[in-house]
Structure 1
Amino acid sequence: MAQSYEEAVRWYRRGAILGNATCQCNLGYMYQYGKGVPQSDKAAVGWYRKSSDLGNENGKMRLGYMYRFGRGVPQSYRKALELFEEAAEKNNPDAMRNIGWMYESGKGVDVSYETAAGWYRRGAELGDASCMDSLGLLYLHGKGVPQSDKMAVEWFTRSAKNGNQYGQRDLGHMYESGKGVIRDLKEAVHWYQMSADQGNVTAKGRLGAMRRADRP
């Protein structure tokens, strides 16, 4: 069946009007990204809020995202964090990743690498590949956790094998530099290529540099 965003919107709207929180969240997503409807952050926020008010974890997470970036609402890290925490209570790994980022970067809260690591770990244990990569970076730089190249490689590997372009890029770097693993340029190229195939600019740059270095 051919994909039809307009048809999806029609069904989401029917469910949303009947009070289905998942349909409300999905309809908000369609408005946020202009799929099957004119793009409208304001409309997206309206539907995310209805979904959130009904306790939907994804509605809360997406509404928090809108507050984080000030899309359709006044920008507020405090409100974003509040919504992310509510979603995280329902084991939403996207929310956990956002909370980790806020503590790591000091947005709306005091910087706490230890707290960031805790949230990234929770998300990683739920299978979130971005949390795996973020936790690996904390191990690489010894922020909030004991510095460990070996642990960094472990989390980058898990992230990379779950298809995350940043985990693939970072794992490529570890193989290129020989940090936490035996240096293996062939393996580095493999992971850089995987990342580059997803559009990662840094990985593309490293591939180019390695190929130039191989020229006689």
Structure 2
Amino acid sequence: MLNIQKILNERTWEYDYDDSEIDDIIWSEIAASPSMGDFVCYLVHNLSHAKHRAEAQSRTAATGNDADPSPIHYPQAIERIRTLAQNGNATAMFHMGKVYAFGIATERDLSAAIGWYQQATDRGDIRASCNLGWLYQSGDGVAADKEKAFRLLSAGAENGMVVALASVGVMLVTGEGCSRDIVTGLQKLEHAFDAGYLNAGNHLSDLFFAGVHVPQDVEMGHEWLLRVAQKGDARSMAILGHHLISGSRGKQDYESGMKLFASALSHGFVTAHLWLGSLYRDGHGVERDLAQAAFWYGQGAEAGDINCALALASLQTAEAAAENHLQ
């Protein structure tokens, strides 16, 4: 269920943390930079309350395809942040961990990231505690330690980090790093969803559909996925649409499924083109229709989805080979 890279870059704490000092350091170094790479690094760094995000996006978009992607001045900003961290600033320690975890203007080094995250955690930084917890949970860059992960994530959950609350909920349901407590785990997932972390609803849906750690309940699986979709989550709209068209989760409703796909597309989830095309290509829940498959792949390719372009090319190659075989 966990995607570590995605979780490490969550904006769940966007309104709870002040990164203004780090932001000022970075921008003072890169503001006059001719390098697109510096502004890409700024966007990837994804500072809380980043004051210059719009300008960084504009500067990145304004550079040509032949622009130098290498950051020129970001490394100097990192050295200033390092000095701040070495002087005991927990926020700077967290950002040093993040720089190494993502390889922002430096080589990715999870060992170094973990060291900085641990120092920040020791000084009470909750973001560092959560990121460290997910790394210990996944065993990414460190020997997996589920019990330590549970303790670290619980600290984050207790301090209002709703994505950590959802992780703790899943761990309680599955007994990962702790004694199983299904009732409490489900409650924590619901609380995380109610607090605005929509992916907690997807976790609940997955649990009820799978029926491994809780009794299987297809109705509850659909209900939770629908609740997430109704909150405006485009990916969940497409997932539910796929389930309803294919009938893969115990219900089949083509009309409702297509409406959900349309909503997902209107909300910008371009991958929905790929999923629709593949349903028609494979005849999964619908009559096999390669023309419809090509149409949806083509729509996605025009919208810039590389996987749709590849799927369309593969489909056209297969059709051409079939025609040659018949000749």
TM-score for both structures, normalised by structure 2: 0.54
Q: Distance in 1 between matches of 2:228 and 2:222?
A: 10
Relative to structure 1, the CA distance from residue 12 to residue 64 in structure 2 (aligned partners, 3 Å threshold; closer, same or farther) is same
Find the residue that maps to 1:184 and give its secondary structure: helix
Which digits, 9 at most, give the CA deviation of each residue in 1:49-106, with x for residues without a partner? Answer: 1111111110100111121122343211000000000111101122112212323333
Relative to structure 1, the CA distance from residue 108 to residue 153 in structure 2 (aligned partners, 3 Å threshold; closer, same or farther) is closer
Q: Does 1:152 align with 2:224?
A: yes
Q: Which residue of 2 aligns with 1:113?
A: 182
Match of 1:89 among 158, 162, 167: 158
Match of 1:75 among 144, 147, 152: 144
Q: Which residue of 1 aligns with 2:94?
A: 25
- Choose between structure 1 and 2 for higher RCO, CA contacts under 8 A separated by at least 6 residues: 1
Which digits, 9 at most, give the CA deviation of each residue in 1:132-183, with x for residues without a partner? Answer: 2213344556747975366324423146x145x3x23433235435959894
Match of 2:113 among 31, 35, 44: 44
Relative to structure 1, the CA distance from residue 83 to residue 185 in structure 2 (aligned partners, 3 Å threshold; closer, same or farther) is closer
Q: Distance in 2 between matches of 1:77 and 1:195?
A: 36
Q: Which has the larger Rg?
A: 2
Q: Is the 8 A contact 1:175 1:187 kept in 2?
A: no
**Percent of pairs identical after alignment?**
21
CA-based RMSD of the aligned residues comes to 3.4
- Stretches of structure 2 that go unaligned for 5 or more consecutive residues are 1-30, 42-73, 292-327
Q: Is the 8 A contact 1:192 1:204 kept in 2?
A: no
Relative to structure 1, the CA distance from residue 151 to residue 186 in structure 2 (aligned partners, 3 Å threshold; closer, same or farther) is closer
Find the residue that maps to 1:83 and give its secondary structure: helix
Q: Distance in 2 between matches of 1:116 and 1:50?
A: 29
Q: Which amino acid aligns with 2:261?
A: V
Q: Distance in 2 between matches of 1:115 and 1:181?
A: 34
